Amino acid sequence: MSKRQSPVPLFALPRLVLVLLTRGLISHNNSLDLRPQSKGNAVAENLFSDYPERVDQLKKYSELEKLVMPLEEAFGEKDFFKNPQEGLDFYFGALEEIGKFCAKEVKPAAAEIDRIGCKYKDGVVTLPDALLSHMKRCRDLGVFSGSISRKYGGLNLPRLVQMMTLEMFGHACPNTALTIAAFSMGDFLQQYGTEEQINAYMPKFITNEWTTSMALTEPGAGSDLGKLRTSAKKNGDHYLINGTKHFITNGDGNVSFALVRTDPHSSGLQGLSVLIVPHDLDGRPNFKVTKIEEKVCLHGSPTCELVFENSIGYLLGPEGEGFKVMAELMNTARLAMGALGTGIATAAMEAAKDYAKTRVTMGKPILHHPMVADLIYEMEIEIRAMRSLVAETSMAYDWMHIAKKKGDEKEFKKWKKRYRRLTPLCKYYCSEKTITIAKNALQIFGGYGVCKEYPVERIFRETIIYPIYEGTSQIQSLMVLKDTLKDVGSQAAGFLGSLAGAWAESKVTRNPVKSKVLQARNELNQGIKTMLGSIIRSKFKSDIEDLKQQNIQQFLKDFSLQLLTSKTDLTFPFLCAERFTRITCDYYTLKCMADRCPEGDKDREKWILEFAELAIPRMQLENHYMLHRLPSTLEYMKTLEKEKE
């Protein structure tokens, strides 16, 4: 068998490759025919090829084809694909196999996994048999090796393909999906591990023989990682760890990547390091799983408390730079949460739509009642928008890592900035929208919505954790605010200079999509102006409401844009953070959709304009609220301070 026909990985040949080869899905001359054949989503046989919008997102509304060869050059094998089409055949073949597995095996077992849940006894966690079966099948399909370079036995799939895979698993079974996401940490090891560590751990990771977890949260140190107290002291070639971690997803796994304090004299985010901590060493437990949480959701996913008592760990990445190392993993995890949320939202919409077709009231199916039809149509619009945002964030990740591998600093900085900008938006938007969509789906079921006879109550329960997992929605909002204020600090005059320009251009352009994007940009600018005005008023103690726009620009220029200092009062921007983030999400989501609208694609244009009709009015409402309602909240906060005194 030639090199181009099949990769021969260092450790094992993923069964997925063999499946694709034997079925003829990798072809030198013929592209895979994945033209969607609608079969009715309620009885879909494939969660990829039976869903046209998923196929179209990759085939028509992404740069997947452009990614194939650069990705191979950077992380794969130079001659593995003869041309981009071979790569696309490979990717789509993989997605079709996984889509079939999700539809026929994973989705039918979702209710059983939720009902049985995971069990805990004497420090041992037991997962439902169906979930364990799914993990074995995922190993055979190469799911755990998707993000890994072929140098280490992986499939070298684009992040875009991996996120579509997670979306399908989220659609089929959130418990299985989250377990896959938590167990798929070979990519993290690939980036920061030594060759010795990679050779020791990677073969076990990509075959799922060893499972993984990420241990950050501690009692009293959740979102505020600066208060982290779990310590580690160097002892020869390893560290001895002492402390407690809780809320650790799949914390019972074979290997935990723990963020600990290796410098006892440090504080805040300094002096932290990431350690690889095996669960067992020399046949004995290296750390203890002392309990699992009883949750209202994700019963098949153990949320563990871990206790380290002189536990042995090995340094991953530079000592003292643990927060920087872990931030990379957190961003990847947040993107994954966006993909999972999109999948769960799709499952909720599908359940509601199928029920609405069969439930008859007042002589017709409730799908034909205006309010129900509007709810479901809005779900469809939002889910397409969510999928577009996940896709753009995924592509930014791929281009960023390709540029880094090539040593192209300019391109790397460009894509890193875009990835940093989109990641918290993706996490925030998809997490919040999946709850709204699932809640509306439950509402469509009426009283049956809270009965276990139907899946929608389970789907709704699974969504409520997403605005909390991997950094709360409020933490994402602070990241968005921080990035925006950083840009404002260096380009304030430019921001204000575009205030009138975006609105004016939106009125003269003949392109309806461009007009809506410019209108949305205008609303984003208004939000920036509101925050910027509050900072200027606080900093210079002057009322500038009546200053003309050109005078504000000159004012900023004269003061060299030194707006953000240790004395700057950011109370009002913090108060606005989440509302401003919702504005920012709507703008960037709309722009992501519009940037991927092929000329003459009327169907794509229709969905973009429909999303704009949802997004722009709520952006306007948020701006109105920030400008006119939130100042009174500041007064309320002052009364609370007086009461405390």
**Residue at 605 is within a domain:** yes
Q: Are strands 119-121 and 124-126 parallel, antiparallel or unpaired?
A: antiparallel
Q: Are residues 518 and 414 in the same domain?
A: no
**Of residues 391, 411, 389, the one with CA closest to residue 584:** 389
**Residue at 5 is within a domain:** no
Taken as a whole, the chain contains a residue count of 645
Give me the mean pLDDT over the 454-460 stretch. Answer: 96
Neighbour tally for 195: CB within 10 Å: 8
Q: Got the DSSP string for 20-65?
A: HHHTT-S-SS-----------GGG-S-TTTT-HHHHHHHHTSS-HH
Q: Whole-prediction pTM value? A: 0.89
Report the alpha-carbon distance of residue 302 to residue 49 in Å, rounded.
32
8 A C-beta contact, residue 312 and residue 251: no
- Which residue type does 551 have? N
Which of 37-46, 127-136, 576-585 has the lowest average pLDDT?
37-46
Model confidence at 39: pLDDT above 70: no
Q: How far does the chain reach from its first CA to its final CA, in angstroms?
A: 79
**Of residues 109, 167, 116, the one with CA closest to residue 137:** 109
**Residue at 285 is within a domain:** yes
- Give me the CATH number covering residue 419: 1.20.140.10
- Which ranges of 541-629 does DSSP label H, i.e. alpha helix? 549-558, 571-595, 602-624
Beta bridge partners of 124: 121
Q: Of 456, 471, 486, which residue sits at a domain end? A: 471
Model confidence at 593: pLDDT above 50: yes
Q: Of 210, 243, 266, which residue sits at a domain end? A: 210
Q: Got the DSSP string for 195-216?
A: HHHHHHHHHHHHTTSS-EEEE-
Rounded alpha-carbon distances, angstroms, from residue 129 to 116, 119, 372, 569:
9, 11, 38, 55
Report the alpha-carbon distance of residue 187 to residue 154 in Å, rounded.
10
The residue that leads in pLDDT, 630 or 214, is 214
The two structure tokens encoding residue 596: 């991927």
Cα-Cα-Cα-Cα dihedral of 603, 605, 611, 615, to 10°?
180
Q: Could you report the per-residue pLDDT of 165-182, keeping only the tens digit for each?
A: 999 999 999 999 999 987
pLDDT for the residue 632 = 86
Neighbour tally for 434: CB within 10 Å: 33
pLDDT for the residue 47 = 97
- The residue assigned the tokens 């949750």 is 295
**Which residue spans within 212-269 are E strands per DSSP?**
212-215, 231-235, 238-249, 255-261
Report the alpha-carbon distance of residue 5 to residue 360 in Å, rounded.
55
8 A C-beta contact, residue 203 and residue 228: no
Q: Are residues 206 and 219 in the same domain?
A: no
pLDDT for the residue 640 = 85
The residue that leads in pLDDT, 200 or 504, is 200
pLDDT bucket at 374, cuts 50 / 70 / 90: very high
**Residue at 4 is within a domain:** no
Maximum average pLDDT range among 139-153, 263-277, 586-600, 629-643: 586-600
Residue 142 Cα to chain centre, angstroms: 21
**Residue at 325 is within a domain:** no
Q: Assign residue 181 a region: left if phi > 0, alpha if psi is -120 to 50, beta otherwise?
A: alpha
Which of 292-296, 486-490, 507-511 has the lowest average pLDDT?
486-490
The two structure tokens encoding residue 310: 């002189």
- Give me the CATH number covering residue 103: 1.10.540.10
- Give me the CATH number covering residue 273: 2.40.110.10
8 A C-beta contact, residue 477 and residue 577: yes
Model confidence at 534: pLDDT above 60: yes
pLDDT bucket at 267, cuts 50 / 70 / 90: confident
**Of residues 164, 172, 168, 43, the one with CA closest to residue 114:** 172
**Residue at 638 is within a domain:** no
Helix (H, G, I), strand (E, B) or coil at 470: coil
Gyration radius from the chain CA atoms: 25
Neighbour tally for 315: CB within 10 Å: 20
Q: Are residues 35 and 117 in the same domain?
A: yes
Beta bridge partners of 121: 124
Q: Are residues 483 and 625 in the same domain?
A: yes
Q: Of 320, 338, 353, which residue sits at a domain end? A: 320
Q: Are residues 89 and 189 in the same domain?
A: yes
8 A C-beta contact, residue 232 and residue 261: yes
Model confidence at 523: pLDDT above 90: yes
Model confidence at 23: pLDDT above 50: no
Which of 27-31, 260-264, 345-349, 573-577 has the lowest average pLDDT?
27-31
Q: Are residues 467 and 495 in the same domain?
A: no
pLDDT bucket at 304, cuts 50 / 70 / 90: very high
**What is the tally of structural domains in the chain?**
4
For residue 200, give every residue at least 6 positions away whose Cβ sits within 8 Å of its Cβ, in sequence order, or none: none
Residue 116 Cα to chain centre, angstroms: 28
Rounded alpha-carbon distances, angstroms, from residue 125 to 137, 248, 293, 644:
21, 13, 11, 45
Percent of the chain scored above 90 by pLDDT? Answer: 68
Q: Assign residue 526 a region: left if phi > 0, alpha if psi is -120 to 50, beta otherwise?
A: alpha
Q: Are residues 296 and 429 in the same domain?
A: no
Task: Give residue 444's domain range.
Answer: 330-471
Q: Are residues 494 and 444 in the same domain?
A: no
Q: Are residues 401 and 479 in the same domain?
A: no
**369: DSSP letter:** S
8 A C-beta contact, residue 513 and residue 605: yes
**Residue at 516 is within a domain:** yes
**Residue at 156 is within a domain:** yes
8 A C-beta contact, residue 176 and residue 131: yes
Q: Are residues 442 and 345 in the same domain?
A: yes
Q: Are residues 464 and 552 in the same domain?
A: no
The two structure tokens encoding residue 204: 């076990």
- Which ranges of 471-600 does DSSP label H, i.e. alpha helix? 473-508, 512-540, 549-558, 571-595
Q: Are residues 508 and 534 in the same domain?
A: yes
Report the alpha-carbon distance of residue 80 to residue 82 in Å, rounded.
7
Phi, psi of 453 (to 5 degrees): -65, -25
